[in-house]
Structure 1
């Protein structure tokens, strides 16, 4: 979303404070099995640049011969369909059951939000068995990480994620190119390099703690706020050695087409990294507009082979927003989403 649709940074949002509605966190008795750390790939050499007519754009990974995405592996031609799911008056397991009946399947990614000071999950109650957790973890100001004061907190978080006992996506400090979060460059003296250092330090500590089940998601907003040269998206990129998936947030707030929201990030990073649409939703402009947009999104993903995940913001509980992002806000929108869930492109 754009900055005008965010709460002020000093207010902890419902998703940041509580994470997933109805989430249960408890100690896990399991010790995670051995996953080999994914090889950290060098940039891949490809010809050409993805275009706005991607039907003519070959998959950038077909001849790579490399494992992409880390422990949550990218599969060519397949996109995982997931959601952040928080429905008013329902526990998370109840919401999961409702969606299973509506779309005929479980979501492949379970998206949860945690504040910086929270204990990260080593268990998610009600999560579908084969669903992959994606943990969006808020950040502090950069100095708190870089001066070493948070080292113990980070190490403890790494051990808990390790004990999830399955591959997991970690999306730390998302939308850092916006001016609405305390970990954004705009609230850290325009120090984009400080963000890069923080991301790299977190990954090192997680690696040192043996959290080899984590795939790291770097996830800017689709556009930057403020629009200034210092705040360009690529200034925050930690480097190919530190990023497994490139994510992007983008909402149809002002009748933007999917290509408008996602093509700039896709064009820049898809030649060497799998792409995940980590937050997406659409407003209803009357008539069939929301259903139409969901179908546009389906076509968009079908035409862009490097997209390996789409995560809907499926909620009607987010504070200070008049929009209800839940996929079943209208019957035709729910039908369009069910079509997307049944599309072979989303069978990852």
Structure 2
């Protein structure tokens, strides 16, 4: 084979490419990871170890009476706390609760992920989703169709080995962990909704109780069970039909946004949540957490909406916490979409009512 200039250049390029792929790129990735971790540590420095205070006579109530926590949920979840660090830098507020999603098809229990959240002064809140989120259909009418995850299979014990692995893992943690199992069940868009996936009336409550019992048998008394429908809407399944009972629930929750389909026109926090809160109070007096909330800035009214939300919260004494959806999903819900919305959030959340710290020693408040 003749050695030509073209082949010489190709050989040199091949060597350079290999050098980049196997030497330079890994170094760049490690340096990027180091810088990202340094930024997280600067904004969210570890505040404590993760050993609970079992020997203490009294444990601090979280949140304290008359106060409420403000947490967040991000796209990256427990894989990367960069968004949580940015939120803290922008608003001056360390979230007291960090919500993250895990699905049953791909996620396995990892104590290290929970510990990383807890040691940064944030209570882990697991949004636990019985489905394969990567197989979510694009067609609206098929979004909730995954027969492998039908509610009757959960209640029948088909997933018990998986459930036990999580129950034992959470039981071994020395701090409380929120479990928001199969949320927004009153809709149609998830396989665990009774309106989809061949599920039948009563299946949801049966599945919930079964999962709860698995955790009880594993000794996971540190689990805080969060039953969390979407705000009520026309054609939604009634709360009454889906509620598993006070013996199986610690906190109730609601998801609601200003800016989703059908709610594009300005709707205040009170207008979004008051009717659903009243419906909940007909069936339970459990503490209420707004488990997902966000506002669009399309009309330039996000800062106004945020200010109104915090002004309204004291009028809802049963609400013990709010979790802002600090993520982009179809709409950019993040606080920092404008300097005005960031400033509005920072000013409002600085009120002492929202500064109750969380620590592994905290005792979750189970009464309003």
> Normalization by structure 1: what TM-score?
0.73
Q: Does 1:106 align with 2:118?
A: no
Contact 2:253 2:288 in 1 (8 A): yes
Identify which of 149, 154, 161 aligns with 2:170: 161
- In the TM superposition, residue 152 of structure 1 has moved relative to its aligned partner by 1.0
2: CA distance, partners of 1:286 / 1:264: 24
Q: Deviations over 1:157-211 (max 9, x none)?
A: 1112223331111000000011100000111445231100111111111011011
- In the TM superposition, residue 308 of structure 1 has moved relative to its aligned partner by 0.5
> Once superposed, what is the RMSD of the aligned Cα atoms?
2.9
1:234 aligned partner:
240
Which stretch shows the higher mean deviation, 267-276 or 234-243?
267-276
Q: Does 1:297 align with 2:309?
A: yes
- In the TM superposition, residue 131 of structure 1 has moved relative to its aligned partner by 0.7
2:336 aligned partner:
328
1:63 aligned partner:
none
Identify which of 294, 301, 306 aligns with 1:281: 294
- In the TM superposition, residue 263 of structure 1 has moved relative to its aligned partner by 1.3
Q: Secondary structure at the match of 2:299?
A: coil
Number of matched pairs = 279
Going from structure 1 to structure 2, the CA distance change for 1:87 and 1:183 (only over 3 Å counts) comes to closer
Contact 1:79 1:345 in 2 (8 A): yes
- In the TM superposition, residue 347 of structure 1 has moved relative to its aligned partner by 2.2
2:361 aligned partner:
none
Q: Greater share of helix residues, 1 or 2?
A: 2
2: CA distance, partners of 1:196 / 1:162: 23
Contact 1:35 1:212 in 2 (8 A): no
Contact 1:31 1:163 in 2 (8 A): no
Q: Secondary structure at the match of 2:104?
A: coil
Identify which of 252, 255, 278 aligns with 1:249: 255
2: CA distance, partners of 1:345 / 1:303: 13
Identify which of 178, 196, 216 aligns with 2:225: 216
- In the TM superposition, residue 256 of structure 1 has moved relative to its aligned partner by 2.1
Going from structure 1 to structure 2, the CA distance change for 1:97 and 1:73 (only over 3 Å counts) comes to closer
Q: Deviations over 1:297-331 (max 9, x none)?
A: 10121211111010001013x3xx1x101110111
Runs (5+) with no aligned partner, structure 2: 1-36, 41-49, 131-148, 357-368
1:80 aligned partner:
69
